[in-house]
Chain A
């Protein structure tokens, strides 16, 4: 007799035991940390490592640290970190050699740029009015930093420094760099060989060079190329370098967006009788730029981090100002703490921007699906 096969019953009326619990804290714990022996070993090794480093770090950074003192000998007596150095030097770190009584102007510049950047990041506020606001902010920032009008004392660019300078370098490279990038990208896709060659040349040469060498050229070489009686401010020269460098990188990103637009869109624009610039501005660019926003955010974050490069050519951005402030023999041994503070400052801005970039990518993806 052939064996009876049943799909419904097993044995003599016996039922299978209920499945093991599929949820619960302990199970989650096991799956996350002790799933198999490899995972268990990794977890134990990492825990040992953390147990060896964290207590020491804690006592250095928190429990044994000196949080505020005017007297560097207090720090010398302590075994932990000396965060007091930040309290003591924060004005120099944040504002460089800008006149002490005018620091509020620098602070206002930072607040203005940060505030407007946050506003421009919110999709609900995306409109052409933003361009007007950026224009107004540029004027305001210039007035605030230079002074010389409305009873504000004049401050030359050689005195600028710290976070406001970092913000200005950042804002200039992005705000002027983006339009230049669009022009370069369009030029690279132009049908006219001469224009294409010029744009390819600029993009590839600048992208092949280190940023410092581009700045070096602007500082040392550019004055040689100009008549002797024409001198351009050092900061302005550095800014030109930053703008060109940002534009060359962003141009490649924009080109990617332009290539992603189907030819049908170009044909449709032509069919409507639009000539080149109206077609680009009204039809192609709005779509192309939308696609590349996440990629552009990467370049923008990099531009923010790259502002520190100007400290090498003797412009006192946050990093340069910190370096300068640490020449004080009483506090020089606490440079690490000062640099950690600067790193934290950059981290807050960059982390916020990278999170925003993820958010906007998701949002654009969902828009496309709709």
Chain B
């Protein structure tokens, strides 16, 4: 009989599955259409150009009630990206520090790092975000604000006020620019010194040019930022601090919740990566003999990265997606805005679709970028 042929059987199975899936989708679509008709909702993406009727309080872009729904979703998406990128940078630093600290021979340091990792990994992220928010909104009001760096930084229940550079640039932007410039300069200088080593055999005196390149990078960053010479500190005017940069408790709570939680996971990844380098490699490096810094840079790091990159990618993607928890503290990221938009416009299907496309494309982008990087650090087999 024909069902005794595995190929024909496979075809029948697939046809059945296809029928089931398509049938289910068609059934859903028909019901959705009926439901939309009953509620008098016109389907389609036309509503995106209507005025949204709500304002979004914070973010890189301003959003007022007259701006369109599309603009609202865009604002949410930008906010999601801002908090995610800031948190990814934060989580990476925390993770690197924790991973190295946990392997430190100093028992106090490694012990404290371990306590941190266990606490942050074993409690829900949402609970952490809620607790950070509670802590931040329990700070004193603007009139009796705490000032840990006297006269420059003020902690209030309405946010943390930081000074800005005297041309109005945010300190955080300046930090990122300086970091990127210095990193590029140091990497180029290291490359150059490696080149000199291969050409001339001279291995001495590399630290001075590399360090100098770092300083030069910082100088370039200073010029790029418009040669600021002073800071403008926030000052209390009425009930608000003006003149500086105010970071809202919503943003900080979400930023802490994302970076401190994911940082603990990155820390474990870094630790596992460093530990995965066989002891023989270290002994071989010592017998060449490489210095401590070169041993790390040329022997340990390339092998550790191989182990670290894939799980770290997964953590970054997870961080991006969990930025949707901002809804719990009222930070207007994409999910939060989508929620509001759905309630106001009634276009649930379209809103979810827009949101899903955004999250999927960003998650896939991170994966793709990290895959390219991963291919660079993996073993080159020729």
A residues contacting B by CB (< 8 A) are 31-33, 35, 39, 42-43, 46-47, 191-195, 198, 205, 207-213, 216-217, 220-221, 223-228, 301, 305-309, 311-312, 319, 323, 335-336, 339-340, 342-343, 346-347, 350-351, 354
Q: Tell whether, in the assembled complex, residue B123 and residue A319 are in contact, meaning their CB atoms are under 8 Å apart.
A: no
Contact of A350 among B31, B106, B122 (CB under 8 A): B122
Asked, given contacts A192-B14, A309-B126, A350-B122, whether A213 binds B335 with beta carbons under 8 Å apart, the answer is yes
Tell me if B150 counts as interface (CB < 8 A to partner A). no
Q: Check B364–A39 contact: CB distance below 8 A.
A: no
With A213-B324, A213-B355, A216-B352 in contact, do A335 and B122 touch (Cβ < 8 Å)? Answer: no
B321 and A210 within 8 A (CB): yes
Interface segment out of the listed B32-40, B247-255, B295-303: B32-40
Which of B53-61, B129-137, B158-166, B209-217 forms part of the interface with chain A?
B129-137
Could you tell me the distance in whole angstroms from the C-beta of B242 to the nearest C-beta in chain A? Answer: 30
> Are A32 and B106 interface neighbours, CB within 8 A?
yes
Distance between Cα atoms of A211 and B34 in the complex (Å): 28
Evaluate contact between A212 and B335: CB separation under 8 angstroms. yes
Q: Does B109 contact A (CB under 8 A)?
A: yes
Q: Are A211 and B124 in contact (CB under 8 A)?
A: no
Instruction: Report yes or no: A32 in contact with B105, Cβ–Cβ below 8 A.
Output: yes
What 4 new A-B contacts, CB under 8 Å, besides A319-B130, A335-B134, A339-B130?
Answer: A42-B104, A191-B10, A213-B335, A223-B35
Q: State A305–B118 Cα separation when bound (angstroms).
A: 14
- Chain B contacts of A305 at CB under 8 A? 123-125
Instruction: Determine whether the beta carbon of A42 is less than 8 Å from that of B109.
Output: yes
Which parts of B333-375 form the interface with A (CB within 8 Å)? 335, 338-339, 342, 348-349, 352, 355-356, 359-360, 363-364
Interchain CB contact under 8 A, B328 and A228: no
For residue B119, CB closer than 8 A to chain A, the reply is yes
- Decide if B106 touches A42 in the complex (CB within 8 Å): yes
B17-49 residues with Cβ-Cβ distance < 8 A to A are 17-18, 21, 27-28, 31-32, 34-36, 38
Q: In whole angstroms, what is the CA distance A258 to B27 when docked?
A: 34
B348 touches A208 (CB 8 A): no
For residue B188, CB closer than 8 A to chain A, the reply is no
Cα A209 to Cα B355 with chains together (Å): 9
Q: Contact: A46 with B352, CB < 8 Å?
A: no
* A193 lies within 8 A of B127 (CB): no
Q: Within the assembled complex, what's the spacing in Å between the Cα atoms of A33 and B224?
A: 44
Contacts of A216 in B (CB 8 A): 335, 339, 352
14 contacts between A and B (CB under 8 A): A39-B106, A43-B106, A192-B14, A193-B14, A208-B364, A212-B327, A212-B335, A213-B355, A216-B352, A224-B348, A226-B31, A307-B124, A311-B126, A346-B127
* B13 and chain A: residue at smallest CB distance: A192
**0/1 per residue, B102-125, Cβ < 8 Å to A?**
001111110010000011011111
Interface residue count for B (Cβ, 8 Å)? Answer: 57
Q: How far is the CA of A305 from the CA of B14 in the complex (A)?
A: 37
Determine if A32 and B107 form an interchain contact, defined as CB atoms under 8 angstroms apart.
yes
Binary A-proximity of B166-204 (CB < 8 A = 1, otherwise 0):
000000000000000000000000000000000000000
Q: Which residues of A contact B123 (CB under 8 A)?
A: 305, 343, 346-347, 350
Q: Contacts A191-B10, A226-B31 hold; do A306 and B124 have CB atoms under 8 A apart?
A: yes
CB of A351 within 8 A of CB of B130, answer: no
- B77 proximal to A (CB < 8 A): no
Q: A57–B316 Cα gap in the complex (Å)?
A: 33
B138 contacts the other chain (Cβ, under 8 Å)?
Answer: yes
B321 close to A211 (CB less than 8 A)? yes
Contacts A35-B105, A46-B108 hold; do A210 and B359 have CB atoms under 8 A apart? yes
A213 touches B108 (CB 8 A): no
Chain B residues in 8 Å Cβ range of A32: 105-108
CB neighbours (8 Å) of A347 from chain B are: 119, 122-123
B258 on the A face (CB < 8 A): no
Q: Which residues of A lie under 8 Å from residue B356 when comparing CB positions?
A: 205, 209, 213
Cβ–Cβ < 8 Å partners of A46 in chain B = 108-109, 112
Of the residues A33, A198, A208, contact of B363 by C-beta under 8 Å? A208
- A-side contacts of B304, CB under 8 Å: none
Flag whether B325 is at the interface (Cβ < 8 A).
yes
Tell whether, in the assembled complex, residue A308 and residue B127 are in contact, meaning their CB atoms are under 8 Å apart. yes
Are the CB atoms of A224 and B14 closer together than 8 Å? no
For A208, what are the chain B residues with a Cβ–Cβ distance below 8 Å? 321, 359-360, 363-364
* Complex contact B134–A339 (CB within 8 A): yes
CA A305 to CA B106, docked complex, whole Å: 32
Q: How far is the CA of A350 from the CA of B124 in the complex (A)?
A: 9
Q: B327: which of A227, A306, A312 is its contact (CB, 8 Å)?
A: A312
CB distance from A90 to the nearest CB of B (A): 17
Chain A residues, CB < 8 A from B38: 228
Nearest chain B residue, comparing its CB with the CB of A209: B359
Q: Which single residue of chain A is at the shortest CB-CB distance from B353?
A: A221
How far does the alpha carbon of A225 sit from the alpha carbon of B125 in the complex, in Å?
Answer: 32
A306, A308, A340, most chain B CB atoms within 10 A: A308
Please give, as numbers and ranges, the residues of chain A lying within 8 Å of B14 by CB-CB distance. Answer: 192-195
Are B17 and A351 closer than 8 Å at their CB atoms?
no
Q: In the complex the two chains form, what is the Cα distance from A5 to B35 in whole Å?
A: 100
